[in-house]
A and B are shown apart, each in its own frame.
Chain A
Amino acid sequence: MKSVLLVVFILTGVVGFGQTAEEILKGVIDKIDLVEDYQADVQIKAAIPFIKVPIAKATIYFKQKDKFKVESKGIAILPKQGMSDLTGFLSNEKKYSAVLGEAKTINEHKTRLISILPTDENSEIILAKVYISTSEDLIYRTVLTTKSSGTVSIDYEYNLNKKYGLPNKMTFTVDIKKFKMPKSVASDIRNNEKKKKYKENEKGTIVLTFSNYLVNKGISDEVFKKD
């Protein structure tokens, strides 16, 4: 009986923890590679210090390798990092080295941390911590440390398009630097009113809810041309 248990334990170890960082990443990259292009409707709900913005609706377009466009009738605020650049970055395996980290449960999904360090000294991403479910080959959390945008944390939720690794919800948490108003641009008539007090750096969240995914239906390059 003991020997049976030992074999089961060893096998579990091989399946769950035996994979290298590269192997875990490969599972994710393979899913990314399944998607040639996609189009989706997105609802953008932003809670950002210093910015009051209504819920916006937009359509996003993506085409391999790095074509990405957001089309919205109104003004839509999106994070500068983490939309399509991460998948592009992960697909280029020669440009980074990956280190396997701890196991962590995120929203009831068992994940492994992969720390990714770019080999290119000019890379915008300094460090990417990616939490990947090894059983599903899906990213459930990413913490990106970037040169110009500070730290961006992204939580993913999946629904219908799991097989493509396309989330139905992404929650971005971004660093917002203290707002400095250009005095020549704006003036308040009642400037004696109490102003909201903010810290030097605050966190803002942007929640993207995706719907109506159209995957691999073909998107013309014309769509990505700038207006």
Chain B
Amino acid sequence: MMLWKNTINELLKIATKIRSYIGIGALTLLILIVLFAMKADGKSYIGFVTASFEQTLSFNGKILNGNLIAFIIMQMLIVHVPLLISLVTGDLLSGEEASGTIRMLATKPISRSGIVLSKWIAATIYTLIMTVWLGFLSLFVAKWMFGTGDLIVLNSNGLLIIPEADLAWRFALALLIAFLALWTVATLSLAFSAFAKNSVGPIVSTMSVIILFTIIGTLDVSVFDAIKPYMFTTHMAAWRSVFEDPYPLSAIWESVIILVAHIGVLLGITLIRFNKKDITS
């Protein structure tokens, strides 16, 4: 009961902070810019995708549709949304320490683990809101602006066309996996937050880890092959696998398990660190 009350309290704290709206505002602005750009010059983007085949084949039907725009937006933003998430979640514990409210928080009839868990649940809900907002803008607004249709997906093996009727569950699953990836980032920044005394450190550290792991993941050097499958950044784009045919179910499960394992381990580290943290001096 106390955990629930404290979680509500943490959500209210998030809601009253301006930085919480920076993320949502930036996400909205970014998506609106993409939608405007696609409305203005989307056909040339399509030409870029189909260029390899245009000499021999003609593509008929509504290629530039809401489903394609949603896919493009998800692909573009899934790299940048973690920064917007960590902007809020990186501040949850360290912000209390920086403002000196951590001791007051500790006087409440709730354990330190309860404090961490309520903040983690609040971070989870914030991440969920961001993911749902991303899904709403990219899917519903894009469909409202561009209409609906089959999805044309480009990967290194060529083009895949997925029928419209086969897309709703794919987008739902993709958003669920994207949420898991963002949840991992939120938990990572919360873990960093438990070690820091101001919120800049956890935010910068989270982004540094993402950038570092992403670079390692893209380096085609065999020395990193052993660790690549276990880096959470390798699995952050697992949502994209949902748009393959046939979709690699076992690989998707593997990504889900690794992301969930990261969340568990990082939450454990946060709990241990915060329980051992000296907040009295």
A residues lining the B interface (CB < 8 Å):
48-54, 56, 58, 70-80, 148-150, 152, 174-177, 179-182, 185-192, 195-196, 204
Contacts A76-B61, A77-B60; A50 near B234 (Cβ below 8 A): no
Q: How far, in angstroms, from A7 to B17 measured CA to CA in the complex?
A: 104
Q: Is the CB of B60 within 8 A of A58?
A: yes
- Chain A residues near B237 (CB-CB < 8 A): 187, 189
Binding site for A on B (CB under 8 A): 48-49, 51-63, 149-150, 152-164, 225, 228, 234-235, 237-238, 240-241, 245, 248, 251
Report how far A52 CA is from B152 CA in the complex, Å: 10
- The reply to whether B61 and A73 contact each other, CB–CB distance below 8 Å, is yes
A72: chain B residues at CB < 8 Å are: 60-61
A51 touches B161 (CB 8 A): yes
CB contact under 8 A between A179 and B150, given known A75-B161, A195-B157: no
Q: Report which of A54, A174, A188 forms a contact with B56, defined as CB distance below 8 A.
A: A174
Contact in complex: A52, B234 (CB < 8 Å):
no
B241 touches A80 (CB 8 A): no
- Determine whether the beta carbon of A52 is less than 8 Å from that of B161: yes
The interface residues of chain B lying within 8 Å CB-to-CB of A74 are: 61, 149-150, 161, 163-164
DSSP majority for the B interface? mixed
Query: A78 with B60: in contact, given A51-B161, A54-B161 (CB under 8 Å)?
Result: yes
Assess the B234–A185 pair: CB atoms within 8 A: no
Complex: A179 Cα to B63 Cα, angstroms: 19
Find the A residue at minimum CB distance from B248.
A190
Known: A52-B159, A189-B237. 6 other contacts (CB 8 A): A74-B150, A75-B149, A75-B152, A177-B56, A185-B154, A204-B56
Contact (Cβ within 8 A) B150 A186: no
Nearest neighbor of A56 in chain B, beta-carbon distance: B61
Q: Bound complex: CA of A150 vs CA of B57, how far in Å?
A: 11
Can you name the residue of chain A whose Cβ is closest to the Cβ of B239? A189
Q: Which residue of B lies closest to A148 (CB)?
A: B55
A182/B48 contact (C-beta < 8 A), A72-B61, A189-B237, A190-B251 known:
yes
**Shortest distance from the beta carbon of A140 to any chain B beta carbon, whole Å:** 23
- Chain A facing B: main interface SS: loop
Assembly CA distance A120 to B52 (angstroms):
28
CB atoms of B154 and A174 under 8 A apart: no
Contact between chains at B61 and A75 (CB < 8 Å): yes
Judging by beta carbons under 8 Å apart, are B55 and A177 in contact?
A: yes
Give min CB distance, A45 to chain B, whole Å.
13
Q: Which of chain B's residues have a CB closer than 8 A to the CB of A78?
A: 57-58, 60
- Contact across chains for A53 and B161 when beta carbons are under 8 A apart: yes
Cβ contact within 8 Å between B158 and A77: no
Given known contacts A58-B60, A191-B156, is B51 in contact with A182 (CB within 8 Å)? yes
B231 to chain A, nearest CB (A): 11
A50-B159 contact in complex given A75-B150, A189-B241, A190-B251, C-beta closer than 8 Å: yes
Q: Is the CB of A150 within 8 A of B56?
A: yes
Contacting residues, chain A, for B161 (C-beta < 8 A): 51-54, 74-75, 77
